[in-house]
Chain A
Amino acid sequence: MERKVAVFRREHFNAAHRLHNPAWDDAMNERIFGKCNLPNYHGHNYELIVRVAGVPDTQTGYVMDMKLLSDLIKRQVVDRFDHRNLNLDTVEFKDLNPTAENIVLVIYDLLRKEIDIKFDLKVTLYETPRNFVEYPA
């Protein structure tokens, strides 16, 4: 029987953002998003955990080469978001509110297209040490 193993890679990026819905007035934005709506942005140390699950290859013993996974995350995620303003500097959040939920979905899509479909992919994103999200749920 072929047994699946999950491998994990942890990466991080630091970014500024604000939560804002342009369809709402200032009062509504402030009521819903509170301090996260402050106009001059705030920021976080985002911690990212990428889980890839599959059957280890019989030749290498690897599920996936962790160096290749690390390079992929750096290229697709860290280079794109690190030391950026998510609202102003990225095309992904030009018209999408950069909540942790939306960020994890964007990261999942960026990685999924480059990881063989035979592997399961799960992305966990920590916005603070106390708030984190996961996709797929």
Chain B
Amino acid sequence: MVFLTRVEHFNAAHKLSNPNWSKEKNEEVFGRCANENWHGHNFELFVTVKGEPDPETGFIVDAKWLSKVIKDQVIEKLDHRNLNLDVDFMKGKMCSIENLVTGIWNELRPLMPPAIKLHCIKLVETPRIFVEYYG
């Protein structure tokens, strides 16, 4: 079994705010991340798939194909967007990186060909904060 990781990136705005809570409660729980006019990040996305190298190509998957799928299905929806307002798969969810990483997983998982499995998605919000999801 070989693991292959493709790294992509996107820049986006978001805020952490629970619409069922008061402004004070949101500020108490989420601090500056609750700023009503948004803030933003440079996100780095690591998509890891696993499989056996194909005897004909030596690839577990064509990395160019994987890159295109990630760009078309995920980056296109997220890059230079407002994650709370603009992204269909985040509608009605809290815009934490925990929820974002599972949302990205759900977008990509059905698109993987039978020969490979989605293994891990790592989402880096800042150089000091990141999450990983293994399904």
Residues in chain A within 8 A of chain B (CB atoms): 12, 14-17, 35-36, 38, 40-45, 82-85, 88-89, 128-129
Contact = CB atoms under 8 A, between A and B. Distances in A.
Interface residues of B, number: 22
A135 B39 CA distance: 25
Contact of A16 (B13, B126, B127): B13
B109 interface: no
Contacts of B12: 42-43
B6 to A, nearest CB: 17
A41 B42 contact: no
Contacts of B14: 43
B35 interface: yes
Interface string B38-54: 11111000000000000
Contact of B81 (A40, A82, A85, A89): A40
Contacts of A45: 41-42, 126-127
B15 to A, nearest CB: 9
Interface in B67-122: 79-82, 85-86
Given A14-B126, A83-B33, A128-B11, A42 B82 contact: yes
11 contacts: A14-B39, A16-B37, A16-B39, A35-B79, A40-B85, A42-B13, A43-B39, A44-B40, A82-B32, A83-B39, A89-B35
A43 B39 CA distance: 6
A134 to B, nearest CB: 19
A42 B14 CA distance: 8
Contact of A41 (B13, B33, B41, B127): B13
Nearest to B44: A129
B126 A84 contact: no
B32 A83 contact: yes
A41 to B, nearest CB: 4
Question: Which of B11, B14, B32 has the largest count of A CB atoms less than 10 A from its CB?
Answer: B11
A104 B14 CA distance: 23
A14 B41 contact: yes
Question: Which of B32, B40, B82 has the largest count of A CB atoms less than 10 A from its CB?
Answer: B40
A43 B79 contact: no
A36 B14 CA distance: 15
Contacts of A40: 13, 81-82, 85-86
Contacts of A36: 80
Contacts of B82: 38, 40-42
